[in-house]
């Protein structure tokens, strides 16, 4: 619960505020950029929402914030907005919300699929979300992009008897995972429309998931730079190998996708040809860094 007595000084006056417990994870700025901005090491309210839609998005940000650092003096619509989650993206793909501080506020996603539903990385084990997933038929798989964003995956796996998928080089984060990937290119036991790609770089065992040649779940491998409006990789948060990340980024050029859905960083939809072109430019630029 955010505390008005700990308010950050940059907030503009009004009902919504951010307090000093903010960890600068970017979640609120992705959901409601018209209300939240980056002060450097934390977010702040730069503009109070001035429409019903903006107020709804600011409330969604309040609910998704991993550290409960966003407050609102008169938030009587929070219960109603709770029902927005998971937030639809497109074609049965959703953003879960309820980002977890265990993954430093990483985003997680839900896929409703006739062959079994998927969770991509894990949010907080929030009862509202659990109920919504239950109503949609539960979970068959929990795909873990890498060791940083596991959060409450074990609780979701236990609740839904789901199979957790993780790479062998990330197994330390989920030792009892049901499916351990040794060689993603050889892993064939996967429903139609899904493809797992090993993308070492950010971490050694990092993987991305491609769904229907349209949705690429990228973990901390690839995101959209909101300010400069192009695809980007986190150079400062590359824990394993930048040259490996550059090499594995190149392998993604061969695939078609429109949505880039990261753990950290902005999600975006681009025309497939533009996504490919931006990836070509990014890999060229990464090689020079």
Cβ at position 224, least distance to Fe ion in Å = 17
Listed ranges 31-39, 61-69, 144-152, 187-195: which one lies at the site for Fe ion (CB under 5 A): 144-152
**Cα Rg for the chain, rounded, in angstroms?**
19
Burial of 265 from C-beta contacts in 10 A (0-12 / 13-18 / 19+)? buried
C-beta of residue 96 within 8 angstroms of C-beta of residue 118: no
Report helix, strand or coil for 164: strand
Listed ranges 46-54, 66-74, 145-153, 191-199: which one lies at the site for Fe ion (CB under 5 A): 145-153
Of the pair 220, 258, the CB lying nearest Fe ion is at 220
Among 148, 132, 159, residue whose Cα is nearest residue 205: 148
Of the pair 2, 173, the CB lying nearest Fe ion is at 173
Cβ at position 103, least distance to Fe ion in Å = 8
Of the pair 101, 138, the CB lying nearest Fe ion is at 101
Find residue 16's DSSP bridge partners. 72
Cβ at position 201, least distance to Fe ion in Å = 11
C-beta of residue 23 within 8 angstroms of C-beta of residue 105: yes
Of the pair 152, 220, the CB lying nearest Fe ion is at 220
- CA 112, 115, 117, 121 dihedral sign is negative
Cβ at position 99, least distance to Fe ion in Å = 13
Of the pair 148, 169, the CB lying nearest Fe ion is at 148
Cα separation, 2 vs 69, whole angstroms: 5
Binding flag, residue 121, Fe ion (CB under 5 A): no
Find residue 45's DSSP bridge partners. 36
Of the pair 19, 148, the CB lying nearest Fe ion is at 148
C-beta of residue 145 within 8 angstroms of C-beta of residue 169: no
Structure-token pair, residue 200: 């070492």
x/- track of binding to Fe ion for residues 205-234 (CB under 5 A): ---------------x--------------
x/- track of binding to Fe ion for residues 148-167 (CB under 5 A): x-------------------
Q: Which residue is nearest to Fe ion (CB)?
A: 148
Of the pair 240, 255, the CB lying nearest Fe ion is at 240
Q: In degrees rounded to 5, what are phi and psi of residue 184?
A: -60, -35
Cα separation, 109 vs 95, whole angstroms: 5
Cβ at position 220, least distance to Fe ion in Å = 4
Q: Which residues bind Fe ion (CB under 5 A)?
A: 148, 220
């Amino acid at each position: 619960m955010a505390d008005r007595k700990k308010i950050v000084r940059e907030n503009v006056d009004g009902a919504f505020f951010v307090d000093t417990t903010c960890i600068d994870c970017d979640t609120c700025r992705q959901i409601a950029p018209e209300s939240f901005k980056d002060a450097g090491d934390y977010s702040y309210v730069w503009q109070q929402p001035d429409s019903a839609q903006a107020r709804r998005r600011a409330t969604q940000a309040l609910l998704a914030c991993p550290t409960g650092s966003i407050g609102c003096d008169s938030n009587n619509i929070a219960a109603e907005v709770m029902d927005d989650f998971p937030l639809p993206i497109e074609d049965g793909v959703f953003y879960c919300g309820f980002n977890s501080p265990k993954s430093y506020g990483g985003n997680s996603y839900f896929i409703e699929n006739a062959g079994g539903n998927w969770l991509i990385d894990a949010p907080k084990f929030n009862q509202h979300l659990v109920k919504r997933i239950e109503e949609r038929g539960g979970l068959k798989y929990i795909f873990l992009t890498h060791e940083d964003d596991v959060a409450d995956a074990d609780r979701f796996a236990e609740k839904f008897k789901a199979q957790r998928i993780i790479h062998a080089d990330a197994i330390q984060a989920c030792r009892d995972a049901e499916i351990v990937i040794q060689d993603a290119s050889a892993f064939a036991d996967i429903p139609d429309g899904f493809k797992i790609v090993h993308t070492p770089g950010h971490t050694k065992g990092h993987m991305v998931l491609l769904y229907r040649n349209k949705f690429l779940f990228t973990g901390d491998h690839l995101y959209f730079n909101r300010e400069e409006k192009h695809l980007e990789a986190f150079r400062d948060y590359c824990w394993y190998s930048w040259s490996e990340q550059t090499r594995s980024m190149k392998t993604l050029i061969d695939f078609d996708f429109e949505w880039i859905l990261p753990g950290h960083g902005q999600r975006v939809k681009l025309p497939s040809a533009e996504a490919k072109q931006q990836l070509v430019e990014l890999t060229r630029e990464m090689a020079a860094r």
